[in-house]
Amino acid sequence: MIAKRIKQLAPSGIREFFDLVLGMPEVISLGVGEPDFVTPWRIREKAITAIEEGFTSYTSNSGLFGLRKGVSNLLKKKYAVDYCPDKEILITVGVSQGLDLALRAILNPGDKVVVVSPYYVAYPALVEISSGEVIYLTTREEDGFKINLEDLKEVVKLKPKAIILNYPGNPTGVSYSALELKNIWNILSKEDIVVISDETYDELTYNDKHTCFSSLDKKAKARTILLNGFSKGYAMTGFRVGFACGDKEIIDAMTKINSFAMLCGPIISQIAASEALLARKEVSLMRAEYRRRRGFVVKELNRVGLVTVMPEGAFYCFSSLKKFKINALDFANKLLMEKKVAVVPGKAFGKGLDSFIRISYANSLENLKESVIRIEDLLNNL
Ligand SMILES: Cc1ncc(COP(=O)(O)O)c(C=O)c1O
């Protein structure tokens, strides 16, 4: 009964592992990709009030105009990039739906899409679900997992329809400076290629300021589908709100699919997201706390022998086990079974990553301290 391309989809490399974790409530999980903070109160309060006031209807297929206007204003203020709230912004059900709509809107069967490895697990699967073909652009540890420009030149020779960029990135925390992005765009701009820029962690950037891909120049804006949302920076994963910005033609096509497939995101969540746009203080407090934890975890992981570069954003460390002659899956299993700490083995994020683990520091400093003690204990007894 099942479509061939769905049957052929590789199962998530870590599902079994995390099914196991779910059945073990005593485990400290450094595996999850979501904030440990509860959504700031003023946002929750706004959602409660919206329910009390009877906001229970559909919204327009594009999303509430007020939210689109708010998103437009924020992007203008932060990145000096100008998106028309009427024509160039679509409210989505998280970045996840934005990705799905973007790929469905632009791909014909067999079209190639470049996915940069290590990658967020959904990218290859969503390309395949949309009948596209994935081309991997593998980054190297010695390049700090950043895109190598010569490799990029090679991959664009294969005439891909699109490339998915993600910075700050999951799972590596890697980000790019304005100059690095300009160098990437310099290569891409010569091709007929759509850039899907997943900037969902833009609020969680700790060093340089985040540069929005579509702010690079006019042509970059026209060829970019900018995806972002409220899950990470605003601690609103369960609200399921995101947004897609792009050229009118692309946003129209995505909205057309949305008008049949989803209709709209939940109105309560959209109202809450409008309030979130005003919660700048709350966002910066959470960012400061992640930065504090990042400093602690990176220092401690390196001290115990897990080589970890300082991530520039998001809330993940991508740590190397190469010193220890144990592969990441065995290490993660041992750590879970013997020490009750969950981390994600690298193979979930691409080929050739068997000696890396992803550690999320979206957890309390207390839990992080305890986890380091247990990790060190395991490493000392390997
Ligand atoms: C890079 C990246 N993009 C998108 C998502 C999905 O986010 P959302 O909750 O907005 O659908 C995640 C979630 O982990 C992510 O890490």
Is 203 in the same domain as 192?
yes
Tally the domains of the chain.
2
Ligand 1 atom 13 nearest Cα: 33
Is 114 in the same domain as 183?
yes
- This prediction has a pTM of 0.96
CATH number of the domain at 320, please: 3.90.1150.10
Is 108 in the same domain as 223?
yes
Report yes or no: 274 and 67 within 8 Å, Cβ to Cβ: yes
Is 273 in the same domain as 287?
no
Query: Could you tell me if residue 49 is inside a domain?
Result: no
Q: Ligand 1, from 32, 91, 95: best to mutate by most atoms within 8 Å of Cβ?
A: 95
Q: Which atom of ligand 1 is nearest to the CA of 169?
A: 1
What pLDDT is recorded for position 13? Answer: 66
Residue 291: Cβ-neighbour burial (10 angstroms; 0-12, 13-18, 19+) = middle
- Ligand 1 centroid, distance to 156 Cα (angstroms): 26
Cβ–ligand 1 distance for 197 under 6 Å, the answer no
- Ligand 1 centroid, distance to 288 Cα (angstroms): 21
Q: Angle between the 122-129 and 94-106 helix axes, to the nearest 10 degrees?
A: 40
- Ligand 1 centroid, distance to 47 Cα (angstroms): 22
- Ligand 1 centroid, distance to 304 Cα (angstroms): 30
Within the chain, which residues score under 70 in pLDDT? Answer: 13-14, 16
- Ligand 1 centroid, distance to 301 Cα (angstroms): 25
Is 332 in the same domain as 214?
no
Q: Residue 236 belongs to what domain range?
A: 55-279
Is 18 in the same domain as 140?
no
Domain final residue, candidates 250, 279, 308? 279
Cβ–ligand 1 distance for 96 under 6 Å, the answer yes
Cβ–ligand 1 distance for 166 under 6 Å, the answer yes
What pLDDT is recorded for position 44? Answer: 98
Cβ–ligand 1 distance for 172 under 6 Å, the answer no
Domain final residue, candidates 279, 297, 325? 279
Which residue do the tokens 């897609």 mark? 244
Is 336 in the same domain as 376?
yes
Ligand 1 atom 7 nearest Cα: 95
- Ligand 1 centroid, distance to 10 Cα (angstroms): 19
- Ligand 1 centroid, distance to 96 Cα (angstroms): 6
Cβ–ligand 1 distance for 31 under 6 Å, the answer no
Is 105 in the same domain as 242?
yes
Cβ–ligand 1 distance for 40 under 6 Å, the answer no
What pLDDT is recorded for position 173? Answer: 97
Query: Could you tell me if residue 48 is inside a domain?
Result: no
What pLDDT is recorded for position 141? Answer: 94
The distance of Cα 277 from the centroid of its chain, to the nearest Å, equals 19
d(CA 240, CA 267): 11
What is the tens place of the pLDDT at every residue in 112-158? 999 999 999 999 999 999 999 999 999 999 999 999 999 999 999 99
